[in-house]
Chain A
Amino acid sequence: MSRGETSINPVILREGAEPSGKPAGQGGMAKFNRTRRGFNRHLPSPPTDVVRTVLHLPRRRAQSNRRRTLITVIVAATLLIALVIAGVSLSPAAMHTDFSIKSLAPSLEHPFGTDWMGRDMFQRTLAGLSTSVLVGLLAAGCSAVIALILGTAAALGGRKVDAVITWLIDLMLGIPHIVLLILISFALGKGFWGVTIGVALTHWPNLARVIRAEILQCRESLFVAAARKLGRNPVQIAVSHMFPFVFPQFITGLILLFPHAILHEAAITFLGFGLPPEQPAIGIILSESMSYLSAGLWWLALFPGLALLLTVFLFDAVGSNIRRLVDPHRSQE
Chain B
Amino acid sequence: MLSFIARHFLKFVLLMLAASVVAFVLVGISPIDPVQANVGQAAYLNMSPEKQAQLHEYWGTTTPLWERYTHWFSSMLHGDLGTSLRFNAPVTQVIATRSINSLTLMAAAWVISGILGFALGVVAGANKGRLIDRAVKAYCFVLASTPTFWLALVFLMVFAVWLGWFPLGFSVPIGVAASEVTVLDALHHVVLPALTLSVVGVANIALHTREKTIDILQSDFIRFAHTRGESPRSALLHHGLRNLALPALTLQFASLSEIFGGSVLVEQVFSYPGLGQAAVTAGLGGDAALLVGITLVSAAFVFGGNLIANVLYGVIDPRMRKKTLAEKVEASHV
Q: Which residues of A contact B (CB under 8 A)?
A: 1, 3-7, 167, 169-171, 173-179, 182-190, 209, 213, 259, 263, 266-267, 270-273, 286, 289-290, 293-294, 296, 298, 301-302, 305, 308-310, 312-313, 316
B311 interface residue (CB < 8 Å to A): no
B19 adjacent to A305 (CB under 8 Å): no
With A174-B15, A175-B19, A189-B32 in contact, do A290 and B153 touch (Cβ < 8 Å)?
Answer: yes
CA–CA, A68 and B162, complex, Å: 42
A157 to chain B, nearest CB (A): 19
> What 3 pairs between A and B have smallest CB-CB spacing?
A305-B150, A187-B26, A312-B145
Name B32's contact: one of A167, A183, A190, A286 (CB within 8 Å).
Answer: A190
A309 adjacent to B156 (CB under 8 Å): no
CA–CA, A5 and B22, complex, Å: 48
Of B27, B32, B134, B150, most A-chain CB atoms within 10 Å = B150
CA–CA, A5 and B142, complex, Å: 18
0/1 string, B272-313, CB within 8 A of A gives 1: 000010011001101000010011001100110010000000
B101 interface residue (CB < 8 Å to A): no
With A171-B19, A179-B295 in contact, do A301 and B283 touch (Cβ < 8 Å)?
Answer: no
CA–CA, A271 and B141, complex, Å: 25
By the criterion of a CB under 8 Å from any partner CB, how many residues of chain B are at the interface?
Answer: 58
Inside 8 A of B194's CB, which chain A residues have their CB? Answer: none
B18 adjacent to A296 (CB under 8 Å): no
A270 adjacent to B257 (CB under 8 Å): no
B129 adjacent to A182 (CB under 8 Å): no
B161 adjacent to A296 (CB under 8 Å): yes
Inside 8 A of A169's CB, which chain B residues have their CB? Answer: 326
0/1 string, B10-52, CB within 8 A of A gives 1: 0000110011001101110111100000000000000000000
A50 to chain B, nearest CB (A): 29
With A3-B137, A286-B150, A305-B147 in contact, do A176 and B261 touch (Cβ < 8 Å)?
Answer: yes
What 10 additional pairs, Cβ within 8 angstroms, besides A175-B295, A316-B141? Answer: A6-B129, A171-B19, A175-B299, A184-B26, A186-B291, A188-B30, A189-B30, A213-B330, A272-B284, A290-B269
B157 adjacent to A293 (CB under 8 Å): yes
Inside 8 A of A293's CB, which chain B residues have their CB? Answer: 153, 156-157, 161
Inside 8 A of B298's CB, which chain A residues have their CB? Answer: 175-176, 179
Inside 8 A of A187's CB, which chain B residues have their CB? Answer: 25-27, 29-30
B249 to chain A, nearest CB (A): 20
Inside 8 A of B137's CB, which chain A residues have their CB? Answer: 1, 3
B153 adjacent to A176 (CB under 8 Å): no
Q: Which residues of B contact A (CB under 8 A)?
A: 14-15, 18-19, 22-23, 25-27, 29-32, 129, 134, 137-138, 141-142, 144-151, 153-154, 156-157, 161-162, 168, 257-258, 260-261, 264-265, 268-269, 276, 279-280, 283-284, 286, 291, 294-295, 298-299, 302-303, 306, 326, 330
Inside 8 A of B283's CB, which chain A residues have their CB? Answer: 182-183, 185-186, 271, 273
Name B279's contact: one of A6, A174, A182, A305 (CB within 8 Å).
Answer: A182
A309 adjacent to B142 (CB under 8 Å): yes
A307 to chain B, nearest CB (A): 10
A177 adjacent to B26 (CB under 8 Å): no
Q: Which chain A residue lies CB-closest to B334?
A: A329
CA–CA, A201 and B32, complex, Å: 20
B32 adjacent to A186 (CB under 8 Å): yes
With A171-B15, A273-B283, A309-B146 in contact, do A183 and B153 touch (Cβ < 8 Å)?
Answer: no
Of A178, A190, A309, most B-chain CB atoms within 10 Å = A178
Of B145, B298, B326, most A-chain CB atoms within 10 Å = B145
A271 adjacent to B295 (CB under 8 Å): no
Inside 8 A of B162's CB, which chain A residues have their CB? Answer: 298
